Each structure stands twice: as C-alpha cells, then as structure tokens.
C-alpha cells in the first residue's frame, strides 16, 4: 500500500488514493472514481488542510459536483424479493463460534414444519409478477437435516414461478456433512447456488468446525463433496469464517480452490453468542494483510489472463465498477427477510429469534410498521461515525447483526480492504477491460447475503 494516501477518513466528501503511480479521487457520492493530476491533488490537499469547508465548492469547480445519489429519504416499505428459511434449527456440528448457537438460536433444536415452509413460500410468491426475480435461500442450522421440507418448499416455489412467470433462484448454505448424490442432483436440477461452510483444510477446519462429539468433520466433508463439485448448472463456493485460529488465508484459499470450488469467500467473525472466536483489533490488522496478499495473488492470475476464485475481491471489483452506492449494508429487513422454524419473520438469518429485528410472521406477512422503523433507524445517514466516513456507500454501515451486537470494531479493516480493492480496480480496468463489460452486466441485485464488499457474513 502506498504511504502517500492512507485509508483513514479525512473528509466526508472525498478520499484520495494512489494506484499505478497516479493519484486518484474517490467521491463517496455515487462511489465515483477519477484519475486526477497533481494540480487537482494539491488544490484538494490545500482545502483539506484549511479544514475542508471549501471542498464542496472545489469539487463543483472541477465539474465533479452531483446531486446526492443517496438521500436522507427512507423507503417506507420494501417488497420482499429474497426469503431465507431456517428450515432446520438443528445441526450436527458444534462450531466454536456459531451465530445460531449450535443451530438452534438458543432455543430447543427443531425442524421447520412443512406447513410453515410452504406458507412462507406462498407469502413470498403468491402475488409475484411476470419477469420479477426472487430468491429462496435455505439456511439453518443445517438445512439438510430437514431435506423433506426443503424439497417441498422448492416444489412449491416452482409451482408459483410457473404460474406467474416470475424467476425464482435458490440457494443453500450447508456444512456438507449430510449431502448425498441425490441432494446434489436436486440442487443441480434447480440451479441452486450452493455455499459450503469450510474454515480451512484439514486440522484448521476441524479445530473450528468439529462434530458435536468433538470429532473433526473435514474428512467427512471431503468424502461428500464429489457429487456437489461435479454439478453442471450451479457453481459451488466455499465460505470461510475467519477467527484468530485460521488466519492463514492464502493457504486456505489455495487449498479450497484445489479441492475444486469455483470460489472462496472469507468473512471475519466479529460477533458470536459466546464471544468466542470474535476477532480483536490487532487480529483484524493481520486479517487485512492476509486479504491483501490473497488479492495480489488474484491480480497476478487475472493479469495472466486466468481465473482465481477469490470472491471477496472479484465481487468488490464488480460493485466498484458499477459505482454501487448503498444506504444499507445489505437487504436485511428491506428486500430480504428470514423465516424461523416456528414461523416468525426476522430481518435476516442471523437475527432469527431475536426480537430486536422481528419483522412479523409468516402467517401475517412482513409487519409494515416494524419494517419502516428498521429502515429509518438503520439508514447509513443515521449511523455514527458512518455519516462522515468516505467508505459509507460501499460499506453501508456494517453488518447490522455485528454492529448492534458489538459495535463498529472493524472500520479500519473495512476501509483498508476497500482502499486496496479501489487500487486493484484501477489496475485491472486498464489491464483486463474484458472483466468489466459495458452495458447491462448487472448481477442479480437481490443475491444473498450481501457480504461481498465488506466481507460481511
């Protein structure tokens, strides 16, 4: 990282960074990136040294002013376009940090009854319109502990899709210990996006994700991965929860890609029910170094014309290219809600059972009042110190679950990582323009969870 411009926030309206030896300007408003010359840099630096009050005028003089891309206006409601089902609130693993407290979210382990799963799907899709896009996600617990209900829900969703002409995509996050060849064929048939939770290779994984009895789960998972990785329609990715115990990311990345995964994404553990595994500030510094090292490797491979499935970087690059500017970190409580096994609705899968983010019931639908309160309270313009942070519209204010539970402890990490991604973007835009095709190359905006840019869970 170049020492000239540090990632620390200096002014709410701009951020300077260097890439390829040239100064660049990042404008949070619209997440816009410009290459600038030294005259512009020194004019901006002078304005910053004088306290920053003249920055808006200066930007206007350079033709860089624009009406706010994100205003204070809060959407009053949101149609639900993504629904996750805690199809099974039980799990056969005993991960050290589990946000769901062993899958049950601190309650008695149980499966979601068929009628609740079907009612949740009906609520999502009953009034779907032709051409609209929806996502149904299966989470847990371990979703395959209740595969009958999972399959019934998929069947019901497809029934509505056929009737309405809407497009329904499916995703599942699994620990892969229970997956069978039939499951893989089923996922393939319906084009599932399959995410396998794996925290490393061999012992590294086993230390964090043992079976309930304490035995390691890695070997079992590898035995079961074959049919999944052979799927033709769906791409299978691995998701790594990073604690202080598995910080050798480059090794993990290469190890998991070597197993045959299309891509690997890392999420730091910032909030667990017991506090176990939560990363402290010093460890986040190390995490940043590790992430950037993976990034450099990814750049190297991309520059050589290849592919390298480091999802955190690949997704961030696409979002940066589009100039994503979000008033929220993710769709939680907005276009996305999660259903619990007993038929409650919550802002997202991690809030299942938590009243703070209750959003109504499967039977009664999303509670408009609660949703509106949530959207008002969680808007990034209402968050401190986000209001004045240059990264606010890429970050969105940080994962609600972590921020509400632990506060904003990862901001230096988030900004450091985003600054690296900005630099890499400028380099790759030049060298690999084919990665950023013109026109409508937009990904499904409702994809779940919205974790890429800031590595949120």
Partner 1 sequence: MAKISPKNVTAQFSYRAAGNPPSTLPQGAISNFFPGLEFDLRSLWKHIFEGIELHESGLVSGGHQVLAVTPGSPGDIAGVRPLFRLLSVDGRPVESRGMSDQGPMPERFAMEFFNSLADAVQKAGQPVRCVFRNPQNNATVNADLVVQPIFEGVAFSKKLLEAGSMTQGLCSPWQADYRECGCYYWAASRPDYINVQVVAGQARGHNWMQRNRGPADDYLPDAPQDPRQFNYNDLYTNWEHVLTFVVGGKETE
In whole angstroms, what separates CA 23 from the centre of its chain?
29
Question: Contact letters (x/-) for partner 1, 234-273, by CB under 8 A?
Answer: ----------------------------------------
CA-CA distance, 451 to 405, in Å (whole number)? 17
Question: Contact letters (x/-) for ligand SF4, 350-389, by CB under 6 A?
Answer: x--------------------------------x-xx--x
Nearest to 327 by CA among 374, 295, 370, 275: 374
Smallest distance from the beta carbon of 439 to partner 1, in angstroms? 5
From residue 292, alpha-carbon distances to 4, 33, 299, 311 in Å are: 18, 20, 10, 13
CA-CA distance, 357 to 88, in Å (whole number)? 20
Three-class secondary structure assignment of 315-338: HHHHHHHHCCCCCCCCCECCCEEE
Question: Closer CB to partner 1, residue 32 or residue 207?
Answer: 32
Contact predicate 133/83, CB 8 Å: no
Is residue 72 part of the contact set for partner 1 (CB under 8 A)? no
Contact predicate 195/206, CB 8 Å: no
Nearest to 19 by CA among 39, 5, 40, 32: 5
Is residue 81 part of the contact set for ligand SF4 (CB under 6 A)? no
Is residue 426 part of the contact set for partner 1 (CB under 8 A)? yes
Smallest distance from the beta carbon of 174 to ligand SF4, in angstroms? 17
Is residue 384 part of the contact set for partner 1 (CB under 8 A)? no
Is residue 400 part of the contact set for partner 1 (CB under 8 A)? no
Question: Closer CB to ligand SF4, residue 24 or residue 392?
Answer: 392
Q: CA-based angle 137:152:342, to the nearest 5? A: 65
Is residue 330 part of the contact set for ligand SF4 (CB under 6 A)? yes
Is residue 434 part of the contact set for partner 1 (CB under 8 A)? no
336-339 and 110-111 beta bridge pairing: unpaired
Q: 348, 359, 422, 426: which one contacts ligand SF4 (CB under 6 A)?
A: 348
CA-CA distance, 399 to 330, in Å (whole number)? 7
Q: Which residues from 409-448 bind ligand SF4, rule CB under 6 A? A: 411, 414-415
Binding footprint of ligand SF4 on the chain (CB under 6 A):
329-330, 332, 348, 350, 383, 385-386, 389, 391-392, 395, 397-401, 408, 411, 414-415, 449-451, 456-457
Contact residues: partner 1, CB under 8 A:
24-25, 27, 30-37, 39-40, 43, 62-64, 66-67, 69, 320-323, 325, 425-426, 429, 438-440
């Amino acid at each position: 990282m170049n020492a000239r411009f540090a990632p620390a926030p200096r002014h709410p309206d701009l951020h300077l960074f260097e890439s390829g030896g040239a100064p660049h300007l990042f404008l949070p408003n619209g997440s816009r990136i410009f290459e600038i010359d030294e005259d512009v840099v020194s004019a901006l630096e002078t304005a910053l040294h004088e306290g920053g009050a003249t920055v808006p005028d200066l930007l206007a003089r350079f033709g860089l002013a624009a009406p706010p891309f994100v205003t204070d206006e809060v959407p009053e409601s949101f149609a639900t376009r993504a629904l996750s089902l805690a199809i099974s609130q039980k799990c056969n693993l005993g991960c050290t940090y589990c946000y769901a407290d062993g899958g049950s979210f601190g309650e008695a382990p149980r499966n979601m009854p068929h009628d609740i799963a079907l009612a949740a799907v009906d609520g999502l899709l009953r009034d779907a319109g032709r051409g609209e896009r929806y996502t149904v996600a299966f989470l847990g617990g371990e979703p395959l502990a209740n595969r009958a209900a999972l399959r019934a829900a998929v069947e019901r969703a497809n029934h509505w899709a056929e009737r309405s002409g809407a497009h329904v995509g499916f995703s599942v996050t699994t620990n892969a210990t229970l997956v069978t060849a039939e499951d893989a064929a089923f996922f393939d048939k319906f084009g599932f996006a399959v995410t396998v939770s794996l925290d490393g290779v061999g012992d590294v994984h086993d230390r964090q994700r043992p079976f309930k009895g304490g035995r390691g789960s890695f070997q079992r998972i590898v035995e079961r991965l074959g049919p999944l990785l052979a799927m033709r329609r769906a791409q299978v990715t691995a998701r790594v929860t990073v604690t202080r115990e598995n910080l050798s990311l480059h090794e993990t990345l290469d190890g998991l890609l070597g197993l045959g995964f299309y891509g690997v994404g890392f999420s730091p553990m910032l909030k667990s029910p017991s506090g176990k595994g939560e990363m402290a500030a010093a460890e986040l510094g190390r995490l940043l170094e590790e992430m950037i090292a993976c990034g450099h490797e990814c750049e190297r491979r991309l520059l050589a014309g290849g592919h390298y499935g480091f999802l955190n970087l690949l997704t961030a690059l696409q979002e940066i290219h589009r100039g994503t500017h979000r008033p929220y970190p993710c769709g939680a409580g907005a276009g996305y809600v999660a259903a619990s096994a007993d038929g409650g609705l919550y802002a997202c899968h991690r809030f299942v059972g938590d009243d703070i983010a209750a959003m109504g019931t499967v039977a009664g639908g999303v509670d408009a009042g609660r949703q509106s309160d949530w959207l008002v309270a969680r808007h990034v313009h209402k968050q401190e110190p986000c209001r004045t942070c240059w990264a606010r519209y890429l970050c969105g204010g940080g994962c609600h679950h972590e921020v509400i539970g632990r506060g904003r402890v990862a901001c230096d990490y988030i900004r450091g990582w985003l600054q690296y991604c900005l630099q890499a973007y400028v380099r790759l835009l030049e060298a690999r323009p084919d990665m950023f095709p013109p026109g409508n190359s937009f990904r499904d905006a409702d994809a779940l969870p919205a974790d890429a840019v800031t590595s949120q869970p």
